[in-house]
Structure 1
Amino acid sequence: MSNPVTLASGPISAVVEPAFGGRITAFRHGETDIFAPIPADGSRDLAAPASCGCFPLVPWSNRIRDARLHVERETVELAPTELPAGHAIHGHGLRRIWEAEQDGTTLRMHYAHEAGAGGWPWPYRAAQVIELDQEGMTVSLSVLNTGEGAMPVGLGFHPYFPQTPGTRLTLPVATSWPPTEAEKFPVDGGQPVPRDLDRREEGPVPMGLDQGFGGWEKSARIAWPEHGLALTMTGEGPLDHVIVYTPTHNRYFCVEPVTHAIDAANLAEIHGVSETGHAILAAGAEFSVSLRFTVAVL
C-alpha cells in the first residue's frame, strides 16, 4: 500500500502517506486542520521533505553535527542530509517508503534498514502504528535492532501546527538546552528555563526558537481560540525531551517530543554531558514510544 490512506472516526480524520516518509499529511477535527497541511502544490520529494503534517524521527532526532556520530570510541561518518550545512538531520524514516497495512481506523507501517545505508552501519526494523478514535489519534513508533551488535537509538515525532495570532501554548519542562549564537547545537547540559520561555502556565508561543528542552513532563497543550479547538499531546515511554521550532514567518510552529537532546550522542560521548537521553540498544532489543493527540472543543 503506497497511496495516501484516509482514516476517520467521528469528527477526527487523518491522511497518511506511506510513500512520503510515513508522514501524516493531514489531521483534522471536522474541517479544521490540527496539523499544518501540505500545500496543494507541495513537493513530495523524499530528499527535500516539506514543512507540514507530522513525520517520524527514527533512528535519531534532530541534528548530528557534521554528520559525524561518535559512539563507544568509534566515529561513524553519516550521509549529510542538511545541506549546505553538512549535518545529518532527523534520521531515516522521513526519507523512506514505508510498507503499510490498514485495518479500519488503524494503519500499521514498517521498513527495514540495511546495514551501511546512508552511512548508518547498524541494521534495524522501524515500525509505526497510527490509530484514530472519536477524540483524537495515537501514534506509536519503535525500532528493533536486527543486528549482532549494539546500536545508538533515538525516536521522536515532528508535528507542524498552524500558527494563528491567538495561539496559546502550555509546555512544562525542567531545563533549557539553548544553542550557541553561531550554531544550532547546545554545548553543555540543561540550564534553568528562562522566564520568557517558561510555559508551565499557558502563554503565547515564544517565537524565533530552534532549540531543545529537557525534563518534559510528557504533556503539552496548544489552544487555537479562533478555531474553538485545543490539542493535548501526551507522551508514553522515554520522551523526556522536546524540541521547539518557531520560525518568525508565523505560518506554522513545531513542538517535537523526542527521546534525546540535539546531538545527544556527541554531547555524551565527547563532552561527558549527562541527561542527554543518549541510548544504546542491544542486539535483538526493541525501543519504543507513543504520542497521544487529544482534541477538545473550547
Structure 2
Amino acid sequence: MAKKGEPEYRWNSGPFQIGIVPQGGAISRIDWIRPDGQGTINLLRPVTPQALTSGNPSSLGCFPMVPFANRLAFAEFDFDGRIVKVPANRPPSPHAIHGFGRGAEWKIERPTVDTLRFNHKHDDPQSGFVYVAWQEFKVTETDVTIEIGVRHLGRTPMPYGIGLHPWFPGGDDVTVQFIATDCFGTDEDMLPTARTVIDLGRDFSDGKMIRHNLGLDVHYSGWQREADMIWDDAGYSVKMTASETLSNLQFYIPEDGKTFCVEPVSHVPNVHNHPEFKELGDVVVLDRNEALTGTMTLTPSLLAKPVSGLVDDDMVGIPGNRDYSLVD
C-alpha cells in the first residue's frame, strides 16, 4: 500500500501487483510475476516517477472513460429535445474527450484477497450527468479482470458510454492481432465521418507488427472482443478479452511506436451526434438507478522457444511471427 502523501496505491493478489493513482482513477501498473521465476513483467507501459506525480492519467498505464468514450464533437449533443453541454477538456480543442472520470478523484475501498474496487461520484444537474462510477479488479492465478461501471442517479434519463484506455509497451518486435467487421474514416480532428471497409492497412486479422503502422488511430466496430498482443523479444504475450457491452475498439499507435493502445469501448465516438452510427455501437440511455458495466480481462503467458523446423515468418501460428508454443 502507498504511504501517506505518495500518489500510488499498490495491491498484491495472486501473481499480480496492481498500482492505482486515485487522481484520475488511473492504473499505474499491472505487474505479473513470471511463472518461470525470472522476475516480473509490467503488462502496461513502464511507469516513471514523473508520470506518477504529473497528475495526468494519460501518462500512466490505463484510465477510465465515462460517461462517454473518446471524442465528442464541440462538447455538446442533442438529447431529448435539449442541448447537453459538457466541458471541452483538452484546450485549445473545442471538443470533449474521454469523459469526466479521468479528471476526478477516485476513492479506493478496502480490498479483499482477490478483489479491489475504487469509485467516484459526479454531480452535474445542469448537464444531467449525475452518477457513481467504479472500477473493480478481480484476480485469479492466471488473469486480471477490470470491470468499469456507471450507475445513473439523476432524475431524468441520460445516455451513457464507457471504456478503458490501456497503454501497452511498444517496440519493433510487438505484434497485434484482432478481428472486426467495420472501421471508420475520420476528419482532421479524428472524429468519425463515415463507415468504411477495413482495407489492408487497417486489417489486423492475421496480426501485424506495430512498427509498420505508426501513427494509426482507427475506430473499429464488430470487434470479436479478443485481441492478442505478442512481445517477441521479451518472450511473452497478453490476450485481451472483453464483455459484450464493450463491443467496439479504438486502436492507436503513436508516431514514435514506444507505446500503443487497444481500447475496448461501448460505442462509436461522437455517436451522440450521428444517429446513422447507432447500429455500429450506440450509447445506452439509463434511467435513475440503472447501470451499465463492461469488463476487460488480460491473460499473460510466456512464449516458449520456436518450434523446431518452423522458421518462416509467413507460416501459420503466432500472428506475423514464428510458431511458438505457450508456457503456462
Do both share a fold (TM > 0.5)?
A: yes
Q: Is 1:208–2:215 an aligned residue pair?
A: yes
Contact 1:9–1:105 under 8 Å retained in 2? yes
Q: Tell me the matched-pair count.
A: 290
Contact 1:7–1:105 under 8 Å retained in 2? no
In the TM superposition, residue 36 of structure 1 has moved relative to its aligned partner by 0.8
> How far apart, CA to CA, are the structure 1 residues paired with 2:140 and 2:251?
27
Residue-by-residue CA offset, 1:241-260 (whole Å, 9 max, x unaligned): 11111111111110100001
Q: Is 1:260–2:267 an aligned residue pair?
A: yes
2:64 pairs with one of 53, 56, 61: 56
Q: Is 1:187–2:193 an aligned residue pair?
A: yes
Contact 2:57–2:63 under 8 Å retained in 1? no
Q: Secondary structure at the match of 1:152?
A: strand
In the TM superposition, residue 273 of structure 1 has moved relative to its aligned partner by 5.6
1:153 pairs with one of 145, 157, 160: 160
2:307 is matched with none
Q: Is 1:33–2:36 an aligned residue pair?
A: no
Contact 2:222–2:280 under 8 Å retained in 1? no
1:241 pairs with one of 228, 241, 248: 248
User: 1:275-286 residue pairs with structure 2 within 5 A?
Assistant: 275-286=280-291
Tell me the percent identity: 25
Structure 1 residues not aligned, in runs of 5+: none
1:123 pairs with one of 127, 130, 154: 130
In the TM superposition, residue 144 of structure 1 has moved relative to its aligned partner by 0.8
Contact 1:80–1:88 under 8 Å retained in 2? yes
Q: Is 1:24–2:24 an aligned residue pair?
A: no
Contact 1:110–1:125 under 8 Å retained in 2? yes
Q: Is 1:80–2:88 an aligned residue pair?
A: yes
In the TM superposition, residue 83 of structure 1 has moved relative to its aligned partner by 1.3
Residue-by-residue CA offset, 1:83-140 (whole Å, 9 max, x unaligned): 1112111111111111112222321111111124xx6322111121112232221001
Q: CA RMSD in A?
A: 1.9
Counterparts in 2 of 1:43 and 1:66: CA distance versus 1, 3 Å: farther
In the TM superposition, residue 175 of structure 1 has moved relative to its aligned partner by 0.4
1:98 is matched with 106
Counterparts in 2 of 1:60 and 1:108: CA distance versus 1, 3 Å: same
Q: Is 1:229–2:240 an aligned residue pair?
A: no
Contact 1:38–1:50 under 8 Å retained in 2? no
Residue-by-residue CA offset, 1:19-55 (whole Å, 9 max, x unaligned): 2212110112232221013322225454x43332011
Residue-by-residue CA offset, 1:219-266 (whole Å, 9 max, x unaligned): 111000111110011111311111111111111110100001111111
Residue-by-residue CA offset, 1:131-182 (whole Å, 9 max, x unaligned): 22322210011111111211010011000000011100011111011212x2
Contact 1:243–1:255 under 8 Å retained in 2? yes
> How far apart, CA to CA, are the structure 1 residues paired with 2:277 and 2:121?
32
Contact 1:115–1:123 under 8 Å retained in 2? yes
1:173 is matched with 180
Contact 1:67–1:88 under 8 Å retained in 2? yes
Query: Residue type of the partner of 1:14?
Result: I
In the TM superposition, residue 183 of structure 1 has moved relative to its aligned partner by 2.5
Q: Secondary structure at the match of 1:201?
A: coil
1:196 is matched with 201
Contact 1:237–1:289 under 8 Å retained in 2? yes
Q: Looking at CA atoms only, which structure, 1 or 2, has the larger radius of gyration? A: 2
Q: Secondary structure at the match of 1:292?
A: strand
Query: If the length of structure 2 is used for normalisation, what is the TM-score?
Result: 0.83
1:292 is matched with 297
In the TM superposition, residue 77 of structure 1 has moved relative to its aligned partner by 1.7
> How far apart, CA to CA, are the structure 1 residues paired with 2:139 and 2:203?
32
Contact 2:14–2:114 under 8 Å retained in 1? no
